[in-house]
């Protein structure tokens, strides 16, 4: 069963309107997206944000402008030259590892 019962996740009904509900609950909402102002994943991890919600987009098209306008920040995985992206499953695994709670 993997970690499906260990990693909290949610599916929002109204998109991207329900992202405000997360913010109202004290979450910082970060989009995993390549944008000009995206911060590196390790920089986000160093911030040690207690309530962080990651938004994962579709492979290829990415996120809509409406979604990106609704999040607090964009975050990217630093990669070597010539590699511009990972598929969403791989990117989420890297992000979950890097952002895991530290003891």
* Domain ranges within the chain, ordered by starting residue: 19-98
- Residue 1 in this model has a pLDDT that exceeds 60: no
Q: What is the mean pLDDT of residues 34-43?
A: 94
Question: 19-98 belongs to which homologous superfamily?
Answer: SPOUT methyltransferase, trefoil knot domain (3.40.1280.10)
Comparing 102 with 75, the larger pLDDT belongs to 75
Q: What is the 3-state secondary structure (H, E, C) of the chain?
A: CCCCCCCCCCCCCCCCCCHHHHHHCCCEEEEECCCCCCEEHHHHHHHCCCCEEEEECECCCECCHHHHHHCCEEEECCCCCCCCCCCHHHHHHHHHHHCCCCC
Mean of pLDDT over the chain? 88
The average pLDDT across 22-31 equals 96
pLDDT at 68: 95
Residue 37 has pLDDT above 60, yes or no: yes
For residue 51, name the pLDDT band (cuts at 50, 70, 90): very high
């Amino acid at each position: 069963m993997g970690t499906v019962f260990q990693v909290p996740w949610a599916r929002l009904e109204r998109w991207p309107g329900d992202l405000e509900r997360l913010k109202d609950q004290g979450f910082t909402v970060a989009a995993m997206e390549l944008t000009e102002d995206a911060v590196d994943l390790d920089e986000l991890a160093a911030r040690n944000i207690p309530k962080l919600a990651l938004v994962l987009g579709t492979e290829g098209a990415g996120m809509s402008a409406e979604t990106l306008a609704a999040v607090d920040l964009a975050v990217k995985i630093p990669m070597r030259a010539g590699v511009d992206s990972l598929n969403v499953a791989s990117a989420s695994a890297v992000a979950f590892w890097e952002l895991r709670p530290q003891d």
